[in-house]
Structures are given as C-alpha cells and as structure tokens.
C-alpha cells in the first residue's frame, strides 16, 4: 500500500519512519521525499495490509504525521483522453509520456500514485482507484 506522509515542523526532525519500522516490523520503501526545515512530505510503499497496515498508520498518526492512503492503481480512460499533454510534464516521476503520435503512454512502474495528473487532466480522464 502506498502512503503519503506529511510532516510538520514538530516532527520533521524526528526519526519517525525508522522507529515505525522497528516498532511495527513493516518493511517500508521510500519512493519520494521532500524534507524542509519546517515541513516534509514523503511517498512510501508499505509492505503491509489489514492489521499490520492499521498498526503502522496509527503509530505514524500518533507521532503527528498526516497520512493519506494512495490509490492502488492509476487509470487513464483513453476514450475520454484528448491527448493534450496537460498531465505529462507535471508528473514528478515521468510516468506519463507522449508518443510521437502525441498519444499518451503510461508507465505503471514509475507511478507513485501522487494524483498530480488526476487534477491536471482537463477532461477528467484519469482516476486513482482504491
């Protein structure tokens, strides 16, 4: 399950994630991290579901982090898509590309489910399924 973690200035300097791994035993893979002096945001892949996942989330929330569970899959409805490209350059990991025909191509392995493209699409052809 992919999670977006938002840190505040009260917890951004603490080793919250390593403590979470030690306490819950869940293996966590950091996909993206932006940490500043007063705030931070991370996208992680937590190798857990059900109770383990709930345990991890409640631990992180107790530490003051805001958790958003990211969708499982990104779907681009190509019947709705007008091949404009509005989702392409905003994608932070380059998971959406344009072919020489200007049609959209999506690389699921690069996608971190951040949802930037969902809002960027002017014809609402992209959604995150949960």
Q: Which stretch binds another protein (CB under 8 A): 16-24, 42-50, 55-63, 97-105?
A: 97-105
Kindly state the tokens that stand for 62. 């107790």
The dihedral formed by the CA atoms of 31, 32, 37 and 39, expressed in degrees to the nearest 10: -90
Find the binding residues for another protein in span 60-89 (CB under 8 A).
Answer: 82-89
Reported residue count of the chain is: 130
| 29 to 58: interface string for another protein, x by CB under 8 A | ------------------------------
Residue 17 CB: number of other CB atoms within 10 A? 18
Which of 94, 105, 107, 130: binder of another protein (CB under 8 A)? 94
Which of 67, 92, 106, 127: binder of another protein (CB under 8 A)? 92
Maximum pairwise Cα distance, the chain: 50
DSSP state of 14: S
Positions in the binding site for another protein (CB under 8 A): 82-90, 92, 94, 98, 101-103, 116, 119-120, 122-124
């Amino acid at each position: 399950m992919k999670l977006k973690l938002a840190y505040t200035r009260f917890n951004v300097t603490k080793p919250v994630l390593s403590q979470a791994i030690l306490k819950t035993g869940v293996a966590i893979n950091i996909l993206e991290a932006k940490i500043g002096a007063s705030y931070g945001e991370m996208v992680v892949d937590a190798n857990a579901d059900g109770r383990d996942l709930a345990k991890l989330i409640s631990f992180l929330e107790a530490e003051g982090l805001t958790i958003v569970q990211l969708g499982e899959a990104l779907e681009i409805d190509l019947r709705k898509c007008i091949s404009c490209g509005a989702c392409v350059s905003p994608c932070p990991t380059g998971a959406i590309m344009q072919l020489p025909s200007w049609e959209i191509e999506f690389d699921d392995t690069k996608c971190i489910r951040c949802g930037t493209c969902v809002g960027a699409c002017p014809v609402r052809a992209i959604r995150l399924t949960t």
